Chain A
């Protein structure tokens, strides 16, 4: 049969010889073996001016999440400041909107970059990073002298909540740089023009919604319906105000029945009523930009958001709009926390990779970021407060930031936060889905809380998911 292809024994053997080559090339999906200890050379000597021992000539790679704040702050504020002190350290600046896609393979391959702004919708799960000891312990940063004053430790220049929230497994390893302040946002102009008052109690809030609805000028309330996490935020803050901070602590700690407490029921019932009566038409199908733009066009009066809002909307906000923010009103008259209680949470999370070649420079970069000059310039550029105390002193800031910082000052010690959504991704997804259903009337408040509780229990009993406590 001379016409049929025939593979001889020799060719078969030759083909077989190629298989290992293919195997070697194919080892791309599974993780690489751990590399040899990264810093074979001894770290450079430390001094008061160089507390971590940054080595000259060794580069520093920085990855910035190119989101609402852009990346100019890093290139034009933080990096020049660092370079002024370490001219011989080459800074490799990079930015991406997809942190996970770009950097997850680098972690799996054992050569992560030094500094990562692990933010945005596609950040790398902190739990996963911590579980695999990829996060540099930043305790040394806290105890180092601050950039501005050698007599003050970094620890004393930032809010305590940054340290609490950035602690994984007992080690401070995530630096939230921006202080996000959550509340109900409105236009000071619209409120003044129509004679609407900021509601101090929930009844007044509902009455205001009724007034706005009857006025026919705009819809009373909206939220980013596509992303119901914008709505579970005021719901949880309200629950904490009614039932005290432990409501949120218990939720974070996955305590039994934490989601189904009376305070949670009160809050869920209150917001379900808003969902049923006062939402702008179509809310559940709109995203944050669409609803916020509707507010800029005076189509809706109020929406829950955070202090990034003003910067995010700067291109569509009318000149005289004047953003303002008010806290969750008093709900029962016997709320455990006083009027003015705020949800503040450090965000824009920076990490240093423990297995990067030059983590010392990474920590030093963060120390530079926490200087008053860096933080103040940052606030001026992106209209957002940082976690650095007093960094905006003596600077001219926007109406929204002014309103938010006044609220923070008024809240004093009465601030709350929660962390479960960062710890347990599946629980976050469930809460998002259920909150959307609650607001569109698909779930009663009781069923809503039962559903999330069920998921929380599931996670609690799942041995493959690492648990956290606060």
Chain B
């Protein structure tokens, strides 16, 4: 049971946001109704906030999340949980493009598929997608893990830094500099520990762990003197 119900409808998002922030600061549990896939719902929410969005939401829901527990009943538009520092976001349906873009920490759990570029430029945290991740997921991920339980679209794990993309199921094709490795038992245990609290642990899975081949990390020289030709 929530303490506060906030109706969105056609009201200005700014007004809705102010009500959400006030309820969050007061430590109330919040249900947001009549969301109509509106953009920018639940941006920059603080730790201790627990909020549920009924129906679907538009762009940037849970963006810049700072510790809130966010539950989206159905689908989320682009950039869900972008730049999240900490907290937990659950998407009951599908997530659009760039879920968890540039996120720093926390967990995003998508029950359906996710669109292209899941976890693009992410710096940390975990994105778990029960379905398939769209093309170019993990593009230039600096850190953190993207875990896909239903396969991956084209150009998977393109141009990674130190992020990792874990996939079970088919991978349409790998991105530039993506290298498939056989995970160690310890690494699998680490992923299982992430999946376990979500009720998704299954020890029979055949994992592919994709990391950077590091060919894009450097021009050919790390020596300043080698750059003096000009």
Bound pair: A and B?
A: no
Query: Chain A residues in contact with chain B, CB under 8 A?
Result: none
Which residues of chain B have a CB within 8 Å of any CB of chain A? none
